[in-house]
Amino acid sequence: MRKSAPYLFLGQTTSLCETCLALVPAKVTAEDGCVFYLKRCPEHGVQKTLISDDIAYWKSQRDWLKPGDRPLAPQTRTDHGCPYDCGLCPDHEQHSCLAIIEINDACNLSCPVCFAESSIKRDTQRSLTEIEAMLDAVVASEGEPDLVQISGGEPTIHPRFFEILTAAKARPIRHLMINTNGVRIAREPGFVERLAEFMPGFEVYLQFDSLRREALMDLRGADLTRVRIEALEALERLNISTTLVVTLKKGVNEGDIADIVRFALKWRCVRGVTFQPIQDAGRNDGYDALKNRMVLSEVRREIAGAGVFALEDMIPLPCNPDQICIGYGLRNGETVAPITALLPRDILVDAAPNSVTFEGYPELRERVFNLLSLSTAQADTSDKLAEVLCCLPDAVVPEGLAYENTFRVVVMQFLDRFNFDIATVKRSCVHFVQPDGQIIPFDTFNTFYRPGAAGARSLARAKGAAR
């Protein structure tokens, strides 16, 4: 008698063997409302990986797709096939929404979780000349880059940090961001005043995993509870746009998600919270995928628990719907009017959304203002969210409201040995810029290309086999 399969077969993709990181075929299957990859490596056998525990949301990701926005020119050729031609190669489907420039590997912390494997024991600081070449590379690729993030290591301890910010500001970059653990902002008098000189168009991406000591000890190896608050107080004083960045490790800090969303709203300077489940790459001490891995749909549900954004307010981001989920709202103090679910879908998936104006939707405008109990507002629209997330149209900040009146939650799920998907990675829009001018997706860089990456052998084999 024939037996039916214990799952629904949804399709097939190419993923990675979780042991040797070779490319392997993966069946995409559904069971009990969840989506899995069933992989088969000739050497390491069958592996089953959870991709989503919300099949309805997972299926909806396709409905939000919009045409890719290509970079001006590729840096490499299509030669060995994806992911061995980064980058960007002509096969990549999305430009750099966010280009990251790592200026050092030195750090004033040694976190147990650090994809860059930075620490207090490392001391490399890139030269200003090298960094300027990296800035020029992203300008050559993008024309006017939407968002460049200066990262590390800990970028604020680079001896020429402020000269680097000045060099970035001198280029046609729409928005500049620093990715920091906040230690120097918290501890050094006068430091935040110097940062404020780079506003507007400047934002701090502040590491903020938890308010609890135990979680911080697990993720950062130090009790940073005071540092976190002192850094925020300094940023609040000068109202420097800040995004809180939460690295998520299941069993450690997923219970803090809702609290952090509510806590963020107490600060005028905080424009949103970005949640990033750990990408299993670099230093990741004690990580057990069975216990610590978290998928995007789980994070989305936890955020809804804060009572600020409902599930339907958090949608797949049209340029990269598999990896990024966004809830976007307008705020008045601690009150938020979520608007992502209210906007007509065609605004968000339009190929050229910046041409749409909010004024075409007077009822929506009125509804938002009512929700926020606003009749008139300060007119300062110079520093809009649309410039921070190029995928969202200007329309989402109505005339009369400033960037300060926006609030967003983002879930950013990077790809690693577990959830790697060859189709998804081609839409990756967060990229590392290299000193040689190459621009490499976050997911493939940390998995294959970063010196010492777990996939380095797989990459070498693929390139060698092709010779």
Burial 336-360 (b: 16+ CB within 10 A, else e): bbbbbbbbeeebbbbeebeebebee
Q: 107 or 317: whose CB is closer to ligand SF4?
A: 107
Q: Which of 83, 201, 272, 353 binds ligand SF4 (CB under 6 A)?
A: 83
Q: Which of 54, 85, 394, 421 binds ligand SF4 (CB under 6 A)?
A: 85
- Ordered DSSP codes for 424-465: HHTT--EEEE-TTS-EEEHHHIIIIISTT-TTHHHHHHHHHH
Q: Does 118 bind ligand SF4 (CB under 6 A)?
A: yes
Are 256 and 225 within 8 A, CB to CB?
A: no
Q: Does 152 bind ligand SF4 (CB under 6 A)?
A: yes
Q: 215 or 396: whose CB is closer to ligand SF4?
A: 215
Q: Does 126 bind ligand SF4 (CB under 6 A)?
A: no
Q: Which of 13, 110, 332, 381 binds ligand SF4 (CB under 6 A)?
A: 110
Q: Does 181 bind ligand SF4 (CB under 6 A)?
A: yes
Q: Which of 41, 89, 192, 231 binds ligand SF4 (CB under 6 A)?
A: 89
Q: 308 or 439: whose CB is closer to ligand SF4?
A: 439
Q: Does 139 bind ligand SF4 (CB under 6 A)?
A: no
Token code pair at residue 90 = 């002509």
How far, in Å, are 120, 180, 410 from residue 177 at the CA level? 23, 9, 16
Interface with ligand SF4 (CB under 6 A), residue total: 25
In Å, how far from its chain's centre is CA 233? Answer: 24
Q: How far is the CB of 166 from ligand SF4 (least distance, A)?
A: 23
> Which residue from 98, 174, 167 is spatially nearest to 126, judged by alpha carbons?
167
Q: 184 or 426: whose CB is closer to ligand SF4?
A: 426
Stretch that binds ligand SF4, among 34-42, 58-66, 83-91, 316-324 (CB under 6 A): 83-91
Q: 216 or 397: whose CB is closer to ligand SF4?
A: 216
Stretch that binds ligand SF4, among 106-114, 268-276, 336-344, 376-384 (CB under 6 A): 106-114
Q: 221 or 435: whose CB is closer to ligand SF4?
A: 221
3-state secondary structure of 423: helix
Q: How far is the CB of 278 from ligand SF4 (least distance, A)?
A: 11
Q: 108 or 381: whose CB is closer to ligand SF4?
A: 108
Q: Which of 119, 210, 279, 323 binds ligand SF4 (CB under 6 A)?
A: 119
Subset of residues 2 to 41 that bind ligand SF4, contact rule: CB under 6 A: none
Q: What is the dihedral sign for C-alpha 357, 360, 365, 367?
A: negative
Subset of residues 185 to 214 that bind ligand SF4, contact rule: CB under 6 A: none
Q: Whole-angstrom Cα distance, residue 242 to residue 53?
A: 31
H helix or E strand, kind and range, residue 36: strand 34-41
Q: In the sheet that 8-16 helps form, which strands lie side by side, from edge to edge?
A: 8-16, 23-31, 34-41, 45-52
Q: Which of 26, 88, 176, 390 binds ligand SF4 (CB under 6 A)?
A: 88
3-state secondary structure of 61: helix
Q: Where are the alpha helices (DSSP H) in 66-178?
A: 128-142, 161-169
Q: Give burial (CB, 10 Å; 0-12/13-18/19+) of 379.
A: exposed
Q: Does 158 bind ligand SF4 (CB under 6 A)?
A: no
Which residues, other chains included, contact 436 with Cβ-Cβ below 8 Å and sequence gap of 6+? none
Q: Does 86 bind ligand SF4 (CB under 6 A)?
A: yes
Peptide bond between residue 155 and the one before it cis (omega within 30 degrees of 0): no
Q: 365 or 426: whose CB is closer to ligand SF4?
A: 426
Q: Whole-angstrom Cα distance, residue 352 to residue 210?
A: 38
Q: Does 111 bind ligand SF4 (CB under 6 A)?
A: yes
Show the binding pattern over residues 387-426: x = contacts ligand SF4 (CB under 6 A), - = does not.
--------------------------------------xx
Q: How far is the CB of 453 from ligand SF4 (least distance, A)?
A: 14
- Ordered DSSP codes for 314-356: EEE-TTSTTTEEEEEEEEETTEEEE-TTTS-HHHHH-SSGGG-
Q: Give burial (CB, 10 Å; 0-12/13-18/19+) of 291.
A: exposed
Which residues of the shown chain bind ligand SF4 in the complex (CB under 6 A)?
Answer: 82-83, 85-89, 91-92, 107, 109-111, 114, 116, 118-119, 152-154, 181, 425-426, 441, 444
